[in-house]
Chain A
Amino acid sequence: MITVSHILSRLLRSGQRRSAQAEQSIHHLQVQADLSEELHVNVELLRNIYADCSDIIFHEFVIGGRTRAVLIYIDGLINVEEIDRHVLAPLQRDNLDEHSLSNIRRTIPVTSITTVKTPVDAIEAISNGRPVLLVEKEPQGLSFGLSEWEKRAIEEPTSESVLKGPREGFIESIRTNTALLRRKVRSPNLKIRMIRKGNYTRTSIAIAYIDGIASPALVEEVMRRLQPIEIDGILESTYIEELIEDNPFSLFPQMLATERPDVAAAYLLEGCVVLLVDGSPSVRIAPITMYSLLQSPEDYYERYFIGSAIRWLRYLFFAISLLGPSLYVAILTFHQEMIPTPLLLTMARSREQIPFPALIEALLMETMFEALREAGARLPKQIGSAVSIVGALVIGQAAISAGIVSSPMVMVVAITGIASFMSPRFNIGITVRLLRFPMMFLAGFLGFLGVILGIIIILNHLLTLRSFGVPYLSPLAPMRNRDLKDVLIRVPTRMKAEYPHAPADRNHERQSSDLWSDSGNGDDST
């Protein structure tokens, strides 16, 4: 004899902590492991499990005027029209001799019909929006793939907009997202494994990779890390990311988040694994290096000169966003001899009336800037612009004329702010913005010595960091000449002929090598 609580605990895969609670509330219910032949027993069992669930519909009807049946579904997750037309209508006017499940199956014109053998199966199907049909005298049921629910249309992801290139973005439905991937990579080698995690949310997680490019060891490692996850709910892919990344205490993201199918497809083609989580438009890509966080898809959609130039601009401003205010503070308080005289005199004059030391001044403005950014991001768009006007004009200008901060400091903070927004991935931008504060303290206390110390500490951390076994700073450290061509510059597509992360025993060619070597011979008469 198995109690409902056992079924539930199997469903929830929870530990003793949770099943004890469940046992108390419904332990009086007793059911069998498989569905019973008695329809009313099954219905009673399910009704008890779904007690107080107002959105569960038990639709009772009679097949062909003889056999009683029940259709169970969650209101709002199914296409009612299709159910009426393709399930209920054929069954009710049916003229079969025998109402066995196989006969019913043949009658119903729906592509996806699966057999449900146990209450657990039934609950799983119902939860996913598949209506379940239970028939009198049958110890099994049928579930139909007629789920349909409201979802957002595919639109351009606002956090990763590009000027050129595809404008579609992932949405909250995982099926749509896998379809978007499949539309980019049509080969059957695109594998999409599916698992469910989350004791209560039962969230689908898809692991996509291209068989033949991605290293099997990598795929196994991702699966191995996903397997032991025990968590109540997964509401966003960050939940998964935090649970499986190499160093959960690092400030630096070790997986790439994107809402763009083209970015995901590009990484798939480089041998990465893409994790899609149901309910989140943002997918995660692993393994990555630091440089992938500083690359924008547009680098590859523009001509390569422009792509390379912008990439360098981004590297430069990445450094500025980390070091800008700390260098300014260090120069102003420790190393006044290092800047040209006219510049120093201008700076000195601007600081003449300022009551605070440069460090306090910098901290004040940087904190203010972060507050403005956060306030602007959380508010609705119309008010957000008001906040930025107040922030930029009122606070910036007024602080200068009130003599609280100097104008070069406002400039430094503004440039640093712009620089931090230049990183194409939000999560690396915010990391750098956070690191700026300890750097400022180091600069204020120890000058350039402190700045160098800070850089060494950060570099040390980055050198130990790995993303699914790939060193975070590769291919620069450790040096891999072959892969450098996509880091320092964006090489022309015709020269980009090898996979960056591919293991040694695989085919490295990404395109026909003839394309490049024969182009000068002129022997192709076509």
Chain B
Amino acid sequence: MTRKVDAKLVIKRMKLAVRLILPVAMLTLSGCWDSTEVNDLAIITAVGIDRTEDQQLELTVKIYLISPSDIEGSNGMTGSGDTGSGQSVIRSVKGTSIADAASRLQQVLTRKVFWGQAEVFMFGADMARHGLDEVMDFLTRQPTIRERANVFISETSAKEVLALNPPIERSVSDALREMVNLQTCSGTSLMKLSQMMSGKSRAAIVPTVDIIEADYETPFPYISGIAIVKNGAMIDQIREEDTLGIMWLRDIIKPRKTITLEPGKHQYISVQLIRGHTSLIPSIEDDRWKITVRSESLVKIIENTTDRDYSIPDHLDQLEAELADHINRNINQAIDLAQQKWKADIYQFADVFHRAYPKIWARQKDRWEELFPKVEVKLETNVIIRRPGMTGKNIFKPGQR
């Protein structure tokens, strides 16, 4: 009798032991699987991709330098950042494809390559003209790469931009990210770019970056304009001054954008945007494809060197009309460029039509290439001056009272 009880007790104890040992073993045998201490990482903050003359890809990464001892050993492979302010170093490797280059990157680094914090992806102009499709596949396939990272096309080589150490920000990636945030138009994220490139219109816009060298102690990058990407490759770029229409149509215009009119000779009136919004309204009537661009903007007057008095409602109405006219001109210009010059649907009209007329779209989508230049665009622009400012007319002007 006692033996029977003992046997049961033993089984019970063994079960308990198994229950205790199993979780402990499961935990410890996995052994910090996948874990990496943060100080064993080479944290990439910016990535640049160029095409070399021998048709290879050159991958340049900007690595945030945690340990000061890394500066000494940085002259081995390629040039390093300025050691004086250097909190970051760059490394470049070449490869036949981006994946090839990326795997070689580990060979020149003592720490584990970590893509998760890369916030800037910079494509060289040569490479962009040749085609972004191969690179984009690599970048969007990796789960570790940030989809919210900003994408730029540099007018010089990407490596040159990455080698800069802008004096104000911690690194060039910080500088570019902040610039894009504060600029008058939104940047393009990796996810947005991949959506535009793979979407129905197969056209995209990407901010371009150039370097200012003259007149300053250290050269620094700035956002110079917009590059037009069609079918995976850059086809054109326009200067920042000419992007107003594109920004309206893409609805990426931001507050702080300033519009200056010249109603009289050397007489200027400047307004700043408080809020701007554009909606695209499609319609198809008897095979005539139409888009109504309805834009609303609230502005404030920030400068007035004319003789007008903006405490008088009539003058305000007049200015509103002039502003609307100005915006319309910009938008029309941008549409002409896209429809006639580039033949690239960078405003994503295709998506708008698809959403409103899915059945017609399904029938006609193969003809989009020839349809797009013929799409009629109607403008409905509405400008409201919300804040005329603290003074009406310019009270400092001689002759005014």
**Across the interface, which residues of B come within 8 angstroms of A447, CB to CB?**
34-35
Our pick among A336, A357, A442 for the contact of B114 (Cβ within 8 Å) is A336
Q: Give the residues in chain B near A352, CB-CB below 8 Å.
A: 39, 66-67
Question: Do the beta carbons of B36 and A349 come within 8 Å of each other?
Answer: no
A332 to B39, CA, bound (A): 9
Q: Contact check: which of A333, A337, A347, A349 meets B144 at CB < 8 Å?
A: A337
Known: A336-B38, A447-B34, A447-B35. A345 touches B28 (CB 8 A): no
CB pair A333–B38 under 8 Å, yes or no, is yes
- Chain A residues, Cβ within 8 Å of B226: none
Indicate if B20 sits at the interface (CB-CB under 8 A): no
In the complex, the answer to whether A342 meets B31 with C-beta atoms within 8 Å is no
Which residues 330-379 in A have Cβ within 8 Å of B in the complex?
332-334, 336-337, 341-342, 344-345, 347-349, 351-352, 354, 357-359
A333 nearest in chain B by CB position: B35
Asked if B30 is at the interface of the complex by the 8 Å CB criterion, the answer is yes
Q: Tell me which residues across on chain B come within 8 A of A450, comparing CB atoms.
A: 27
Given contacts A337-B146, A341-B117, A358-B37, contact A446 B27 (CB under 8 A): yes
Contacts of B168 in A (CB 8 A): none
Chain B CB within 8 A of A429 CB: no
Given contacts A337-B117, A342-B170, A348-B66, contact A445 B28 (CB under 8 A): yes
Q: Is the CB of B32 within 8 A of A333?
A: yes
Q: Is A444 an interface residue (CB 8 A)?
A: yes
Q: Which residue of chain A lies nearest to B143 when distances are taken between CB atoms in the complex?
A: A337
Instruction: Say whether A348 contacts B31, CB under 8 Å.
Output: no
Residues of B within 8 A of A349 (CB): 66
Q: How far is the CB of B12 from chain A (nearest CB, A)?
A: 15
Known pairs A334-B35, A348-B64, A351-B37; list 19 more (Cβ under 8 Å): A333-B36, A334-B36, A341-B117, A341-B119, A341-B173, A345-B43, A345-B64, A345-B170, A348-B39, A348-B41, A348-B43, A351-B38, A352-B39, A358-B38, A444-B32, A444-B35, A445-B28, A445-B33, A446-B27
**Does B131 sit within 8 A of A, measured CB to CB?**
no
Inter-subunit contact A344/B43 (CB<8 Å): yes
Check if A332 sits within 8 Å of B43, measured CB to CB: no
- In the bound complex, how far is the Cα of B170 from the Cα of A211, in angstroms? 71
Residues of A within 8 A of B276 (CB): none
Q: How far is the CA of A261 from the CA of B28 in the complex (A)?
A: 49
- The listed residue with most A CB atoms (<10 A of its CB), out of B64, B119, B146, B173, is B64
Q: Does A170 contact B (CB under 8 A)?
A: no
A441 within 8 A of B: yes
**CA–CA, A344 to B119, complex, Å?**
13
Task: Report Cα–Cα, A354/B66, bound state, in Å.
Answer: 13
- Indicate whether B219 reaches chain A with its CB closer than 8 angstroms: no
User: B30, A445: Cβ atoms under 8 Å?
Assistant: yes
Inter-chain contacts of B45 with A (CB < 8 A)? 341
A344, B37: Cβ atoms closer than 8 Å: no
- Count A-side interface residues using an 8 Å CB cutoff: 25
Cα(A321)–Cα(B173), bound, Å: 36
Interface flag for B95 (CB, 8 Å): no
- Distance in angstroms from B71 CB to nearest chain A CB is 14
A77 to chain B, nearest CB (A): 48
Flag if B37 contacts A333 (CB, 8 Å): yes
Question: Does residue B255 face the partner (Cβ distance < 8 Å to A)?
Answer: no
User: Which residues does chain B contribute within 8 Å of A446, judged by CB atoms?
Assistant: 27, 30, 33
B116 surroundings in chain A (CB, below 8 A): 336-337
Considering the complex, give the chain A residue whose CB is closest to the CB of B119.
Answer: A341
Cβ distance A343 to chain B, nearest Cβ, rounded Å: 10
Complexed CA–CA distance, A336 and B40 (Å): 11
- Docked-complex contact A442 and B27, CB < 8 angstroms: yes
A352 to B43: give the CA distance in the assembly, Å: 13
Determine the distance from Cα of A273 to Cα of B257 in the docked complex, in whole angstroms.
69
Contacts of B39 in A (CB 8 A): 348, 351-352, 354
Q: Which residue of B lies closest to A457 (CB)?
A: B23
Please, how many angstroms separate the alpha-carbon atoms of A444 and B64 in the complex? 25
Assess the B144–A332 pair: CB atoms within 8 A.
no
Measured in the bound complex, the distance between the Cα atoms of B38 and A345 in whole Å is 9
Partner of A441, one of B27, B43, B119: B27
Complex formed: what's the CA distance from A332 to B43 in Å? 13
Pick 14 A–B contacts, CB within 8 A, sort by A.
A333-B38, A336-B41, A336-B114, A337-B116, A337-B144, A342-B170, A344-B117, A347-B38, A348-B66, A352-B67, A358-B38, A445-B33, A446-B30, A446-B33
Whole-angstrom distance from the CB of A97 to the nearest CB of chain B? 72
- B residues less than 8 Å from A354 (CB atoms): 39
Give Cα A357–Cα B37 distance, bound, in whole angstroms.
6
Query: With the chains together, A64 CA to B174 CA distance in Å?
Result: 106
| Shortest beta-carbon contacts, A-B, top 9 | A337-B116, A333-B35, A351-B39, A348-B38, A341-B117, A445-B27, A352-B66, A332-B38, A348-B66
Q: How long is the Cα–Cα vector from A344 to B117 in the complex, in angstroms?
A: 9
Are B30 and A336 in contact, CB atoms less than 8 angstroms apart?
Answer: no
CA distance A354 to B40 in the complex (A): 11
Instruction: Please name the residue on chain B nearest to A341 by beta carbon.
Output: B117
Nearest CB on A from B120, distance (A): 10
Query: What 1/0 mask marks residues of chain A from 312 to 334 whose CB sits below 8 Å from any chain B CB?
Result: 00000000000000000000111
Docked complex Cα distance between A442 and B66 (Å): 28
Q: How far is the CA of A352 from the CA of B30 in the complex (A)?
A: 26
- Interface 1/0 per residue, B163-191 and A, CB below 8 Å: 00000001001100000000000000000
Q: Among the listed B32, B37, B170, B174, which residue makes an inter-chain contact with A332, where contact means beta carbons less than 8 Å apart? A: B37
B158: min CB distance to chain A, Å: 19
**Which B residues lie within 8 Å of A336 (CB)?**
36, 38, 41, 43, 114, 116-117
Give the distance in Å from the alpha carbon of A450 to the alpha carbon of B36 in the complex.
16
CA distance A352 to B68 in the complex (A): 10
Contacts of B33 in A (CB 8 A): 445-446
Most buried by B among A342, A444, A446: A446
Q: Would you call B31 and A445 a contact (CB within 8 A)?
A: yes
Q: Give residues 487-509 of A contacting B (CB, 8 Å).
A: none
State in angstroms the CA–CA spacing of A337 and B174 once bound together. 16
Residue of B nearest to A334 (CB): B35
In chain A between 53 and 88, which residues have their CB closer than 8 angstroms to a CB of chain B?
A: none
Give bound CA distance, A240 to B45, whole Å: 61
Residue from the set A351, A357, A442, A445 with the largest chain B CB neighbour count within 10 Å: A445
Of residues 1 through 39 on chain B, the ones whose CB sits less than 8 Å from some CB of chain A are 27-28, 30-39
Cα A336 to Cα B45 in complex, Å, equals 13
Q: B residues within 8 A CB of A348? A: 38-39, 41, 43, 64, 66
Chain A residues with CB under 8 A of B36: 333-334, 336
Give per-residue flags for A422-461: 1 if the beta carbon is below 8 A from chain B beta carbons, else 0: 0000000000000000000110111100100000000000
Nearest CB of B to A460, in Å: 14
A444 to B33, CA, bound (A): 9
Q: How far is the CA of A242 from the CA of B352 in the complex (A)?
A: 69
Q: Give B31-67 interface residues, CB cut-off 8 Å to A.
A: 31-39, 41, 43, 45, 64, 66-67
Please indicate which of the listed interface residues A341, A342, A357 has the most CB atoms of chain B within 10 Å of its own CB.
A341
Residue among B36, B39, B170 with max Cβ neighbours from chain A (10 Å): B39
* Nearest Cβ on chain A to B384's Cβ, whole angstroms: 37
CB distance from A446 to the nearest CB of B (A): 7
Report B161 CB to chain A, min CB distance, Å: 18
A429 to B34, CA, bound (A): 33
Nearest B-chain residue to A351, judged by Cβ: B39
B38 in complex: contacting residue of A344, A359, A444, CB < 8 Å: A344
Query: Nearest residue in A to B31 (C-beta to C-beta)?
Result: A445
B222 to chain A, nearest CB (A): 21
Report the bound CA distance from A221 to B27 in whole Å: 42
- Report how far A431 CA is from B195 CA in the complex, Å: 50
B154 to chain A, nearest CB (A): 21
Report yes or no: A445 in contact with B32, Cβ–Cβ below 8 A.
yes
| A342, A347, A349, A450 pick with most chain B CB within 10 angstroms | A349
